[in-house]
């Protein structure tokens, strides 16, 4: 476990909980141990948290781990708290009773993440090359060897990491965090509170070609891509993820979109608000995905599709048609021991024949 | 829509069409509006083009959008032009009649892309580190914080973006455009008119290992990769795509190959001329792909395969055997609502048994 | 073929073999040619090696190529040597008889790779920005425009390429090679003899969110990621591969793990010793993979799985359940000509019904 705060900076449990917005905590129950409003230096998993850390349990199946925890406080569901209160002896740790323990854990983690940050001086590193026409908010910071192009605007409190290259006419909103070695092409606009991880490439040219036999038989002529990328507020984009610029219009990521690593969003796509995609997902060009969707890891969406709101695509699934009804959709060949797969896969290429034979039998 | 050219730089329609090579335009038909040889400042989609823009229609299904367009000129197929000429009233816009509207659009877009470029001064940025033995053409330009290794040669009019790292003994042909934050390892040779997008890595070591039990049970000993990467003319390589160097020979991309983002080309592969691969494709080592093939998004080709010319692999398809006959090849588990998938997938692992049972019934 | 060493540096065959550890060579048999202990300037494939190169044959199916080789020496299996000794005329080249020709080839390649390296001066490039609290071994070298954060430690003889960004509290062991344009986030620890290729991102934030309806319906609240990445000795990580930091604990790659390009390892994963993954593999968060496993290209493992030792997953296979038994596991929809696929895929969504109909027939 990382010790997140030095002991002299660790807040008492009651203070810590007061700092968390949302009225999530129902009550705090004193345990049988010495932990009277203990100082909390960090968070930890049940099995590895130390005595100055708070832990959490999100499911009753982890109850056996609770008897071993050294944490001084544990976030618990009301029904788990009742079980623990009835146990003999009562656990040593304080119980923080809460209907949404995972959300409370997230909020506590956000608080510690904020509290552990060293005070950053707003500064443009002397090696950063910022075009004289760019506007960088006085409270923003820009890392070493970063390049910012003409007329680009960097919002207040936004941090840009080392080695990042930002083109011309880029806008980045307030309180955003662009990590090291990101590329942002010209005409990309990003809202507030963005988080962009290293290696991400935003606004590279979309993959557009017209067959051009005048070059050679079968040759392709490039279609320049004039659109931009428009990214809403609270969007997070993972490491080495790529979002291409549109051909004529913008590629759009709406508010709250979360993209994991190594995702590819093609040109002219629109990804709806609060949609989350796990790693290695690909969305081909001109596809629209609705709000509050989830795309499992390595899911692949064909181009020019329309996927509605609240659609959940399982990992590894290829989607080749429009989906308008909310729900979960899947298409994965089940994996098995190899020899068994061989036997069954051999039948796959005879399925149509098999169906005919079955019909023939049915007709007698 | 981006306004591509300021009004004082917008060419008249007739001038613009004269600048486009290829004799693609059959005729220009005046519409009922005031658009007499109008100035054209840019291109736009039918529904979003403004009155100083030219648009295009590639399929009759978009005809309904034409009645709403504000474009001053529209590229149309001859058969669509006939319909429009017979309509009452005749549309306001000028009709540019052309048998290949998509190609004409591509050519116009290329013209605008060229015309809108600010005049770039050929220059080596003062922070670029160019080895004294490297040769950079006087008309080439090299961006900030870019590194060029020993004996490398950069061709005339070629542009290298910021933060790119180029190794030793690299050759890049004329009129190429290497964007920001690209990595080109030693001994990679690239032809003329290349376009390499950010994050691409060309010439990283191939993944070659020999089992070496002297290290540990099951351990792997590295096989150094001595080959290079040889890239023809007119090749485009997408963002975060990787092309590994060969083990002993070169990995080869022939003329006109187009690779989208996040593609992986393994060591010793050869990709034939004018073959295009959509995003997230993987080609394992030592596989040869013929000319004029297309690989759909996330298609995966096993290693040591030979794929002939004019083969088209659908998106999401895994190819594990040689293909010599031109045509389209597919292998994707169809996706459905999840519960339906569960029911059907459960049968997949019984297919071999099902076939046997069917046979037994057939035998009576 | 690259000439690996200038003639005056090429060792005689006997000297070269003496330099290779492991006692792999059984004997060297003189051929009918003039090659008496010839100088060896490099390695080559049978069909392209020149007369100053050594080649190898790992399988009898390549025997026809041996009659054409110009190599002065060839590594052969004992049984192949017997065939060659009995042939008339005996081949011109010297035969290096060895039970593990591929391993001997790997060792020779390693030797040449080492011998061809120009003497590198241990040096920190004047443009590298190394935090004053970082410790760089005197024999380490750091490239241009590289950034090394506070308290990080770079081991002896380790090389860091240009444009790489290394965070705070990073440890890199001895004799490691971190190529250009790598990102290593804070708190990543890497063992000895690592090889990290360009574009790799180690320690980016894992993809962790809790539903947070207080932001908006369906919105996600970020869970900060406090763990690190712990990487053993002899680990190799390919170009543009990403390994995320853990949420509370470390993400772990054990000794000898080999990851190809464009792989994604999610947060909290543990990859066992000597496990090798081919390109485009994805392992979702909290999954444990055992020792000596292989993951074929584009294989995808769901999150929270436990995969045992010596498990081999075929390329393109999605694994969604725990595997404890060693062996090979596969799940790929077989690809065929498209029309055939259409016919068969249509039946896939009726499989459950088909089974029922078959049962009905069986019941008579």
Tell me the domain boundaries of chain B: 7-116, 182-329, 338-364
**CATH 3.30.70.260 correct for C182-329:** no
Interchain contact, C113 vs B249, CB within 8 Å: no
- pLDDT of residue A1 exceeding 70: no
Alpha helices in chain B (DSSP H): 13-18, 63-66, 78-86, 101-116, 338-348, 351-363
The residue assigned the tokens 């209160």 is: A85
Interchain contact, C330 vs A350, CB within 8 Å: no
Predicted pLDDT of residue A247: 95
Strand order across the beta sheet in which A294-295 lies: A141-142, A159-160, A177-178, A195-196, A236-237, A258-259, A276-277, A294-295, A311-313, A327-330, B336-337
pLDDT band at C3 (very low <50, low <70, confident <90, very high): low
What is the average pLDDT across C331-348?
96
Cβ atoms C320, A332 nearer than 8 A = yes
What is the average pLDDT across A5-16?
93
Give C279-284 contacts, CB < 8 A, sequence gap 24+: C279/B207, C279/B242, C279/B264, C279/B266, C279/B282, C279/B284, C279/C238, C280/A280, C280/B264, C280/B280, C280/B282, C280/B300, C282/A262, C282/A279, C282/A280, C282/A297, C282/A298, C284/A278, C284/A279, C284/A297, C284/A315
pLDDT of C151-193, one tens digit each? 999 999 999 999 999 999 999 999 999 999 999 999 999 999 9
Cβ atoms B210, B226 nearer than 8 A = no
The residue assigned the tokens 């005031």 is: B34
Interchain contact, A106 vs C264, CB within 8 Å: no
Backbone angle region of C349, left / alpha / beta, with phi > 0 → left and psi within -120 to 50 → alpha: alpha
Sign of torsion, CA B100 B101 B106 B111?
A: positive
- Among residues A330, C319, A312, the alpha carbon closest in space to that of B333 is found at A330
- pLDDT of residue B106 exceeding 70: yes
Taking contacts as CB-CB distances below 8 angstroms, the residues of chain B near C162 are 147, 165
- pLDDT of residue C36 exceeding 90: no
What is the average pLDDT across B43-65?
89
- pLDDT of residue A217 exceeding 90: yes
What is the average pLDDT across A353-358?
94
What is the average pLDDT across A50-68?
88
Percent of chain B with pLDDT over 70: 99
- pLDDT of residue B228 exceeding 90: yes
Rounded-to-integer distance, Cα C319 and Cα C304, Å: 11
Which two tokens mark C150?
């506070």
Is omega for the bond preceding A89 within 30 degrees of 0, making it cis?
A: yes
- pLDDT of residue A97 exceeding 80: yes
Find the distance separating the first CA and the last CA of chain C, reported in whole Å.
70
SS3 B359: helix
- pLDDT of residue C294 exceeding 90: yes
- pLDDT of residue A106 exceeding 90: yes
Average pLDDT, chain A: 94
Predicted pLDDT of residue A266: 98
**Burial letters C305-340, b for 16+ CB under 10 A, else e:** bebbbbbbbbbbbbbbeebeeeebbbbbbbbbebee
Nearest to B264 among C44, C162, C280 (CB): C280
Q: Give catalytic residues of B, as residue numbers.
A: 267
Q: Out of C179, C267, C274, C312, pick the active-site residue.
A: C267
Rounded-to-integer distance, Cα C328 and Cα A141, Å: 51
pTM: 0.96
Rounded-to-integer distance, Cα C118 and Cα C141, Å: 14
What is the average pLDDT across A188-206?
98
Interchain contact, B316 vs A318, CB within 8 Å: yes
Asked if C304 is an active-site residue, the reply is no
- pLDDT of residue B3 exceeding 80: no
Q: Note whether C7-116 and C182-329 share their fold.
A: no
Closest approach of chain A CAs to the CA of B88, in angstroms? 30
Which residue on chain C is closest to A114 by alpha carbon?
C224
What is the average pLDDT across C83-88?
90
Rounded-to-integer distance, Cα A292 and Cα C217, Å: 8
Average pLDDT, chain C: 94
Predicted pLDDT of residue B144: 98
Q: Give catalytic residues of A, as residue numbers.
A: 267
pLDDT of C244-278, one tens digit each? 999 999 999 999 999 999 999 999 999 999 999 99
pLDDT band at C304 (very low <50, low <70, confident <90, very high): very high
Chain C segment 103-122 residues within 8 A of A by beta carbon are none
What is the average pLDDT across B143-163?
97
- Among residues A292, A197, A180, the alpha carbon closest in space to that of A236 is found at A197
- pLDDT of residue C296 exceeding 60: yes
Chain A segment 274-333 residues within 8 A of C by beta carbon are 274, 276, 278-280, 291-292, 297-298, 310, 315-316, 332-333
- pLDDT of residue A2 exceeding 80: no
Range of lowest pLDDT (A112-126, B245-259, C36-50, C68-82): A112-126
**CATH 3.90.1150.10 correct for C7-116:** no
What is the average pLDDT across B66-71?
90
- pLDDT of residue A176 exceeding 90: yes
């Amino acid at each position: 476990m990382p010790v997140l705060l030095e002991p002299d900076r660790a807040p008492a449990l009651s203070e810590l909980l007061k700092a968390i917005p949302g009225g999530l905590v129902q009550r705090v129950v004193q345990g049988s141990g010495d932990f009277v409003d203990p100082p909390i230096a960090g968070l930890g998993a049940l099995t590895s948290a130390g005595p100055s850390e708070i832990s959490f349990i999100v499911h009753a199946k982890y109850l056996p781990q609770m008897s071993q925890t050294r944490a001084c406080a544990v976030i618990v569901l009301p029904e788990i708290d009742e079980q623990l209160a009835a146990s003999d002896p009562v656990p040593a740790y304080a119980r923080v009773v809460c209907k949404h323990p995972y959300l409370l854990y997230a909020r506590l983690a956000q608080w510690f993440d904020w509290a552990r940050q060293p005070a950053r001086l707003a500064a443009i590193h002397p090696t950063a090359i910022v075009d004289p026409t760019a506007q960088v908010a006085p409270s923003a910071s820009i890392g070493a060897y970063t390049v910012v192009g003409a007329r680009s605007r960097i919002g207040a409190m936004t941090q840009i990491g080392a080695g990042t290259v930002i083109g011309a006419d880029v806008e980045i909103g307030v309180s955003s965090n662009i990590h090291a070695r990101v590329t942002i092409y010209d005409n990309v606009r990003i809202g507030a509170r963005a988080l962009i991880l290293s290696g991400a490439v935003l606004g590279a040219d979309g993959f557009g070609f017209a067959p051009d036999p005048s070059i050679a038989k079968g040759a392709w002529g490039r279609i320049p891509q004039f659109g931009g990328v428009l990214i809403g507020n609270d969007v997070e984009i993972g490491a080495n993820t790529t979002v291409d610029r549109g051909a004529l219009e913008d590629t759009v990521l709406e508010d709250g979109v979360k993209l994991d690593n190594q995702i590819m969003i093609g040109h002219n796509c629109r990804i709806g608000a609060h949609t989350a995609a796990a790693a290695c997902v690909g969305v081909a060009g001109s596809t629209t995905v609705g709000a509050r969707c989830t795309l499992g890891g390595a899911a692949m969406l064909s181009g020019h599709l329309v996927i509605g709101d609240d659609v959940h695509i399982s990992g590894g699934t290829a989607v080749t048609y429009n989906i308008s009804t909310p729900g979960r959709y899947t298409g994965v060949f089940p994996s098995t021991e190899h020899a068994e797969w061989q036997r069954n896969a051999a039948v796959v290429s005879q399925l149509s024949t098999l169906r005919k034979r079955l019909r023939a039998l049915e007709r007698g």
